[in-house]
Structures are given as C-alpha cells and as structure tokens.
Amino acid sequence: MDKKILVTGGAGYIGSHAVKVFLEKGYSVVVFDNLSRGYREAVKTLERYGDVILEEGDLRDREQVQALFRKHEIDSVLHFAALCSVDESMRDPAQYFENNVLGTLHLLEAMRVFQVRDIIFSSTCAVYGEAEYLPVDEKHKTEPENPYGESKLMAERTIQWYAKLFGFRYVIFRYFNVCGASSDGEIGDSKKPSLLLVQNVVRGAMGIEPFRLTCQKVDTPDGTPIRDYVDVEDLAEAHLLGYKYINEDKKSIILNLGNGKGWSVKEILSAVENVFRVQIPISEGERRNGEYSKVYADTSKVRSVLSWTGKRTINESVDSLKRWYQKNPSGYEE
C-alpha cells in the first residue's frame, strides 16, 4: 500500500491549497475533515489535480481518528483542522479548547500508536499577543490575548511534548494574515463573510456583499489594526518545503510565515480600491473582540532554513481573489 499524506482540515480554505500543492507534486493525500467549516466541493475540485480521498470525521472523536489510521497507511501529517475566529473564541472559548487542543491530542495519540512521527502544524501569530517589538521573531514572548491564540499555543506545546517523549519531528508554522486564492481561480475562501479582511474587501469591491468595518479603534497612525498579509499559495508552498525539511532528518523547528510588512485595514482598503478603480462603500459592523493593535513578522529564520519567501504581492492576491469570486461569487455550490 502506498503511504499517504494526511491533511486534517484539507477541505478548508488554507488546507485545500496545501493539498493542491502536494497533489501537483505527485503525492497521494487523505483529507480528514468534519465539513463544519470545510467544503466537500473543495475536495471534489482537488480530484482533478491528483489522488485525493476525503474521509469525513471529527478529531474530537478519538475512535474515528484511530479508525482513520487503521484504514490508511499514513506517512506524515499536515494538521490544519481548527477553529480560527478570534472574536468567536472570546464568546465561546470552550469549543476552541475542545476542538483545537483535544482534537490535536487525539491526532497525536493516533500518530503515536501507529508510529507516524512527522507533523507539520498550522499555528498562528496570535500566540504572541501584543507585540513588544517589531518585526516579531520566533523568540518573542508568547502571551496570547484571546482563547484562539491560547488554544493554538497549547497545541504547540502538546506537540513539543510528544516530540520529547516519543521522538516526533515537527515544523510549526506561525501564520500571519492569509489572503488570496489559487492562481487558476479553482479553489478559494468560501466562507460568507470570510473571517479574513482582504477577501471581504474584494467582495465589497465586486458588489457581492457590503463591506463592514468591524475592527476596534487602536493606537496606530490611522486608528486601524496593522497586520502582515501572506498569500495562501505562498503559504501552501511553505508546507511542501517543511515536509521535505523533516524528511531530510532535520531537527524540529518553529517558523513564522509572513511577508515582513505591516498594512493597516485602511491601507488594504485603499490598495483594493486602486486595483478595482472603485470606491468601496463602507458600513459599520459589530466590533470584534480580542484584537491587538499591530503585528508583522520577522521572516529571516524561514528564509534561512527553508529558502522560502512570500513571492506574491497584495495586488496579485487581490487579482486571484477576483478570479475566484468571478467564478464562485457565493463560494462552493454546496
């Protein structure tokens, strides 16, 4: 039996782009997803790129996870499955700790039992909390300011303990803000509205959905939060490099994935308006909780270790989103 790459959350926005990259390189992939926030149609679309199987299930169900590993001979794991809304985590922290932490534990236990030792984990810059200095490197303190960030940090630490105790090897990627869609316009962010700024601004520029300003006023030059934006295809390509890095018997490592530049919300609005040559009508939405004022990445470590850098500009990310939403204004058909 050929060994497969297991991608948890592979029917979701970021996970599906990583699946596409691995399929295009000839790997066989098993997607494990409960489809609560992922899409069956995404996996159907991915079938045109290579050998992919969807196994519907939930990481919170220990027996389902064990059964998955019994059914498939797994080579390595890419772990994307998680809830990822800062605001939602402030309102309902219990589901974040259950899903993001307990789900990770069940996955690691199945890996231990079935002797799968390599994991690439999708973490977040939210583990850092409010930046004490900029750009933020991987040595920055980790003091999350919301349950989402805390749940990811707890998952990171659980993975690190399994590495110490059972010989696991890991690459932990701490993402900054993600944007864009596949260059061919075939897969993208299907949430309505998206949790991500650039997607929602593009939808506003295209008249698909009104753009609502939901950020708190913060202490930045224009009063809106400053974030680092990284294209989803660049992000996906980093996971292939991380997989190859682990397979060369390299040591476990934590790496930032960002572009090393901060954009405020208003600067993103202006950039999208310039691409579309429109003025986007803005309405006030319910303000999000748990946000901090500014963060952007020091990417020197990932450049050195993986020779990775974000290649795609904000304008290129906006163009890819335009292609995605032109084909799929309401997301996947389901």
Mean pLDDT (the chain) is 95
Please choose, from the candidates 176, 206, 243, the residue with its C-alpha nearest in 3D space to the C-alpha of residue 321: 206
Does the pLDDT value for residue 91 go beyond 90? yes
Does the pLDDT value for residue 288 go beyond 80? no
C-alpha separations of 199 from 187, 204, 229, 331 in Å: 13, 9, 12, 12
Kindly report which listed range (125-134, 210-219, 221-230, 274-283) carries the lowest average pLDDT score. Answer: 210-219
The domains located in the chain, with CATH, are 4-177+230-257 (3.40.50.720)
**pLDDT confidence tier of residue 182, bands split at 50, 70 and 90:** very high
What pLDDT, in 10s, does the model give residues 27-75?
999 999 999 999 999 999 999 999 999 999 999 999 999 999 999 999 9
pLDDT at 139: 98
CA–CA separation, 83 and 80 (whole Å): 9
Higher pLDDT, 317 or 215: 317
Token pair for residue 126?
């939210």
Please choose, from the candidates 208, 181, 206, the residue with its C-alpha nearest in 3D space to the C-alpha of residue 193: 208
All residues at 6 or more sequence positions from 311 whose CB lies less than 8 Å from its CB, including other chains: 231, 234
C-alpha separations of 59 from 33, 90, 200, 202, 224 in Å: 8, 22, 29, 33, 36
DSSP for 263-299, written as a single string: EEHHHHHHHHHHHHTSPPPEEE-PPPSS--SB--B--
Mean pLDDT of 92-98: 98
148 is catalytic: yes
User: What angle (nearest 5°) sits at the alpha carbon of residue 209, between those of residues 208 and 210?
Assistant: 135
pLDDT at 283: 81
pLDDT at 30: 98
Does the pLDDT value for residue 290 go beyond 80? no
Kindly report which listed range (15-24, 53-62, 157-166, 203-212) carries the lowest average pLDDT score. Answer: 203-212
DSSP H helical ranges for the chain: 13-24, 40-46, 62-71, 86-91, 93-96, 103-113, 147-166, 197-205, 232-247, 265-276, 300-306, 314-327
Does the pLDDT value for residue 1 go beyond 60? no
Which of 148, 162, 229, 325 is catalytic? The answer is 148
What pLDDT, in 10s, does the model give residues 311-329?
999 999 999 999 999 999 9
Q: Coil, helix or strand for 185?
A: coil
What pLDDT, in 10s, does the model give residues 254-280?
999 999 999 999 999 999 999 999 999
* DSSP bridge partners of 229: 177
DSSP label at 217?
P
Token pair for residue 5?
């790459």
**pLDDT confidence tier of residue 334, bands split at 50, 70 and 90:** low
**pLDDT confidence tier of residue 296, bands split at 50, 70 and 90:** very high
Mean pLDDT of 151-162: 98
Strands of the sheet containing 52-56, edge to edge, are: 52-56, 29-33, 4-8, 74-79, 118-124, 169-175, 253-257
